[in-house]
Amino acid sequence: MIMTAVDGNMNAFLYFIQPNHCPPCLLHAISKQMSVKQTVLLAVPKPLGDGNGVKGLVDSGLSEVPEQYVQPPEERIDKLNASTHDNPPIDLSKLDGPQHDQIVEEIARAAETLGFFQVMNHGVPLELLESLKDAANNFFGQPPEKKAVYRKGVSPSPSVKYGTSFVPDKEKALEWKDYISMTYTTDAEALEYWPQECKDVALEYLRRSIKMVKKVVEILIGKLGVTLDDSRIDGLIGLKLVNMNFYPACPNPELTVGVGRHSDMGMLTVLLQDDIGGLYVKMEEEMDGKRQGDWVEIPAVPGALVINVGDTLQILSNGRYKSAEHRVRTTSTKSRVSIPIFAIPKPTERIGPLPQLVERDGVTRYREFIFEEYMNNFFSNVHDGKKSLDFANNI
C-alpha cells in the first residue's frame, strides 16, 4: 500500500512506498530530573510525540540553539554578504494582451537561468493570501495536544501530517521548522480530514493556484517547441500537496537553518511568503552582476507568489530549465510562515527527457524512470543540494 507523509520544507514531502522507509520517533528527553537547558542540549526533545515541535522549544524560554540544530559552518547562511534578486514580479495578466510574447519570454528566461521567479495578477485573491497566513499562524499557535493528533502514526488520514525537520533520523543537524502537510486526493477527503483551522483556505488556495501552474507548465513546454496533450500535463502535475511551514523566532539564526539546501523534485512549486522573507537561491550561472555559486535572497513582495522549477521539469527539458537549489534562513525577531504548493507527477508517470529535445540536442542527459523510483531515492537521503538529480543522470 502506498502511503504519503509530507515534510515541511518544500519545501517537500515524504512519499513512502515501503513501511521501513518511515523515520522512527524522535528521542525522549533524557531525564525529568535534568534542567530544561540540559535536556535541550543532550537529547532531541519530544517535538512530535507531544506536539510541541520547535515552537515548543522556543516557548520554553531557551536562550540558545540546541546542539541538535547547530549546522556545520559550511551549511550556515551568511545574510550580511548575500545579495537580493531584484527582478520585479512577472505580471501574468499581460498574457491576455499584446505583451503576451514578452511575458512568455520572461517566464522561460527565468526558468532557464535562476529557476525561480515571482508572479503577480496570478488569479489568487490577495485577501485569500492574507487568510492563508492567518490560518497558518492559528494552526501553529494552538496548544501542543491539538497539533499532536496529526503526527505520523496517529493522524486521522495518511494524507495529513504534522512534523518537524526533513529526515530527523538521518540528519546530522535538524532544521528549525514545524509543518503541517496536506496531500490532495479529493475535495471530500480534504474537507473531512484537513485541520479545521486551515482546510477551507488551503483548499481554495490549491484550486486557484493549480490553474496558474497548468498555464505556466503549458508555456514552458511550448517554449521547448513541444506540444503535450491535457492528459499528459495532468499526469505531470497529478499529485498535489499544500504545506504550511512555521519557522519560530530563533535565538541564534546564524547557527541553524529553517530548511537545508535542496531542489524540489516535482514540476513546479508555488510559494506564498510572509513579509519577513528568508528564502535564498543559488546562482547556477553568472547573471546580473552576481557570480555563479552566489546565494541570493528572493525578497518578499506583497501580493506576489514565488514559482520555482523542480527536478522533473529539468529532466523533461533535457537540462534546459533549471531546478534551483534553495534554502531558508531563520530570524531572531519574529516567527515566519510560508505556504508552498507542490505540483508533482503521479507516482506511475514515466519521466525522462522529451524525445523531441533528445533528437534536437543530440544527447540524452537523463535516463528514463518511473516517478515513484525517484521519490523513493529522494526521501532516502538528507538534503544535499541538487544531489537528488544524480539518480536520473544518464550514465
Q: What is the pLDDT of residues 52-88, one digit of tens each?
A: 888 988 988 888 998 989 988 988 887 766 788 889 9
Question: Can you give the pLDDT at residue 209?
Answer: 98
Neighbour tally for 4: CB within 10 Å: 22
Assigned C-alpha cell, 131: 487568510
Of 179, 267, 172, 251, which Cα lies nearest the Cα of 216? Answer: 267
Whether the CA torsion 136, 211, 214, 110 is positive or negative: it is negative
Q: Are strands 369-370 and 350-351 parallel, antiparallel or unpaired?
A: antiparallel
Whether the CA torsion 383, 79, 310, 320 is positive or negative: it is negative
Question: Can you give the pLDDT at residue 29?
Answer: 29
What is each CA distance from 140 to 7, 35, 260, 286, 293, in whole angstroms? 15, 26, 21, 39, 35
Question: Can you give the pLDDT at residue 292?
Answer: 73
Torsion from C-alpha of 103, 105, 111, 113, nearest 10 degrees: -120
Question: Can you give the pLDDT at residue 63?
Answer: 87
Of 130, 131, 164, which Cα lies nearest the Cα of 147? Answer: 164
Using CB atoms within 10 Å of the CB of residue 363, give its burial: 0 to 12 exposed, 13 to 18 middle, 19+ buried: exposed
The string of DSSP codes covering 164-220 is ESSSTTT-SS--S-EEEEEEES-HHHHHHHS-TTTHHHHHHHHHHHHHHHHHHHHHH
Whether the CA torsion 195, 196, 201, 204 is positive or negative: it is positive
Q: Which phi-psi region, left, alpha or beta, contains residue 102 (left: φ > 0; alpha: ψ -120 to 50)?
A: alpha
Domains in the chain (CATH in brackets) are: 73-143+183-392 (2.60.120.330)
Question: Can you give the pLDDT at residue 36?
Answer: 37
Query: Which residues of the chain fall short of a pLDDT of 70?
Result: 1-50, 80-81, 165-172, 285, 287-289, 379-386, 395
Rounded to an integer, what distance in angstroms lies between the CA atom of residue 151 and that of residue 139?
14
Using CB atoms within 10 Å of the CB of residue 9, give its burial: 0 to 12 exposed, 13 to 18 middle, 19+ buried: buried
Residue with grid cell 532557464, as numbered in its chain: 112
Q: What is the pTM of this model?
A: 0.85
Q: Which phi-psi region, left, alpha or beta, contains residue 187 (left: φ > 0; alpha: ψ -120 to 50)?
A: alpha
